[in-house]
Amino acid sequence: MEENFTSDLYSNLAKQMLAQKKVLNTEELVIYTGLSQTTIHRLTTQRKIPHSQPLGRKLFFDREKIDEWLLSKPRKSTDEIAEEASSITFRRKRA
């Protein structure tokens, strides 16, 4: 029980520290996003995730660009969809 608490505490502290860094390496990105290292490498190979490779081998990631990428394809909630449908219906009734 105490071991899990210590592990969770360490994980939370690591994530907080990473949230303040501007540039992350692959290992840090794994912790920051929860994606596996294999997934990250696949995404970089397919050029689907923003990254830099200034020295030819080691990958670096701009945390702000990663945040934008993570939030790049938002899905509307059912409440948002219902509100949008309601406003369209209301506008049509007025016309």
| Dist. CA 57–CA 79, nearest whole Å | 46
Judge whether residue 93 has pLDDT over 70. Answer: no
Beta bridge partners of 60: 25, 52
Alpha helices in 1-62 (DSSP H): 2-18, 26-33, 37-45
Q: What is the mean pLDDT of residues 51-62?
A: 93
Under 8 Å between Cβ of 51 and 61: yes
Domains and CATH numbers, the chain: 2-94 (1.10.1660)
> Could you tell me the pTM of the whole model?
0.70
Q: State residue 84's pLDDT score.
A: 84
